[in-house]
């Protein structure tokens, strides 16, 4: 009887020991995973977005953070720039560059590597007004809301899909446009990035995100050009090609329509294929690498030369 009691006590002690060890291992994995995701991968600090009644969405103002080792900063006017005044009270000339994630660079581009930063110096400030997936309608609404900040020129960077890109004003997807920072970097990795590596997720996400085919509507671009020229700004449009179109040598029908509309309304048009190398300037099919940002800066300069 005594031996049986001792064995039971021994079994209970073993279960307690292994239970505590399992808890310790779990805590070690969670803490280690959190540190790895936050300080090695750079997760846990996504740039935040806010919904807007006319622009649809834009980056939250006055935020500065480190993401994937890159400095990301948005000023009081949601530009990816250092802080500036609403009116130009300096000797710097101001150039406004407006576009989507190509201009913005995303979290994989450090502030110092952006085309607009590369060109900014004591004489000229290049304002980076951009957000992922913005089209002409979003850009026009930004200008109607905030104005031109005493810019002397407006450069609009557009891709073929922008010819039919209109806002939906749907609720913002937190996995694409987060509006609050996650409690844990590890949680962001599991919820936002891990599913992308699950087999079948890409096809499913593509199907869910597929929008009905839309007709080309360039009325926002025409209004944007008219608004800028009416304020005395010179306007230039840069046609940005995808890597696939560059390699195939084809002209996207959306870009062709943008080119015609821009010229018809008095804007100068520059094609970036003279500056971007399809083999080295692209990060993926449409976004540009750090080298591509440098190449894009040359296209911006050429755009200004072409403007009166």
Instruction: Say which residues have a Cβ less than 8 Å from residue 234's Cβ, sequence separation at least 6.
Output: 152, 153, 154, 268, 304, 307, 308
Predicted local confidence at residue 210, as pLDDT: 40
How is 157-220 classified by DSSP, letter by letter? EEEGGGGG-----PPPPTTTS-SS--S-HHHHIIIIIGGGGSTTHHHHHHHHHPPPP-----HH
SS3 content of the chain, % helix, strand, coil (to 5): 45, 15, 40
Q: Is 307 helix (H, G, I), strand (E, B) or coil?
A: coil
What is residue 289's predicted lDDT score, i.e. its pLDDT? 97
Structure tokens at 252: 């996207």
Kind and range of the H or E element at 49?
Answer: strand 49-52
Is the alpha carbon torsion for 169, 131, 129, 298 positive or negative? negative
What's the pLDDT at 208?
Answer: 37
Query: pTM score, two decimals?
Result: 0.86
Q: Which tokens in the block code for residue 99?
A: 């576009």
Mean pLDDT per 10-residue interval, the chain, length 308 residues: 53 74 73 68 85 98 92 97 94 96 96 98 97 97 98 97 94 91 70 58 41 76 98 97 92 94 96 94 96 97 82
pLDDT number for residue 3: 47
pLDDT, residue 188, reads: 72
**117 in Cβ contact with 111 (< 8 Å):** yes
């Amino acid at each position: 009887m005594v031996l049986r009691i001792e064995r039971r006590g021994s079994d209970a002690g073993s279960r307690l020991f292994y239970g505590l060890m399992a808890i310790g291992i779990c805590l070690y994995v969670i803490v280690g995973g959190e540190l790895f995701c936050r300080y090695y991968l750079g997760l846990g600090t996504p740039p935040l977005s806010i919904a807007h009644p006319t622009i649809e969405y834009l980056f939250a103002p006055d935020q500065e953070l480190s993401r994937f080792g890159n400095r990301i900063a948005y000023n009081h006017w949601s530009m990816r720039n250092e802080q500036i005044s609403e009116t130009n009270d300096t000797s710097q000339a101001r150039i406004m560059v407006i576009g989507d994630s190509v201009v913005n660079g995303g979290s994989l581009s450090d502030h110092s590597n952006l085309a607009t930063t590369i060109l900014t110096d004591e004489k000229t400030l290049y304002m980076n007004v951009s957000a992922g997936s913005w089209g002409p309608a979003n850009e026009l609404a930004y200008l109607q809301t905030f104005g031109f900040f005493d810019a002397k020129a407006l450069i609009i960077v557009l891709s073929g899909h922008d010819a039919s890109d209109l806002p939906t004003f749907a609720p913002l997807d937190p996995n694409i446009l987060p509006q609050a920072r996650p409690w844990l970097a590890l949680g962001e990795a599991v919820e936002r990035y891990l599913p992308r590596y699950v087999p079948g997720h890409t096809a499913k996400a593509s199907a869910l995100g597929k929008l009905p085919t839309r007709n080309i509507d360039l009325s926002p671009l025409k209004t944007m050009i008219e608004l800028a020229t009416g304020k005395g700004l010179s306007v230039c449009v840069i046609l940005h090609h995808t890597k696939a179109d560059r390699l195939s040598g084809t002209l996207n029908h959306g870009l062709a329509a943008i080119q015609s509309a821009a010229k018809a309304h008095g804007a100068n048009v520059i094609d970036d294929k003279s500056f971007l190398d399809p083999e080295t300037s692209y990060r993926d099919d449409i976004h540009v690498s750090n080298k591509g940002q440098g190449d894009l800066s040359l296209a911006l300069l050429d755009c200004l030369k072409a403007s009166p």
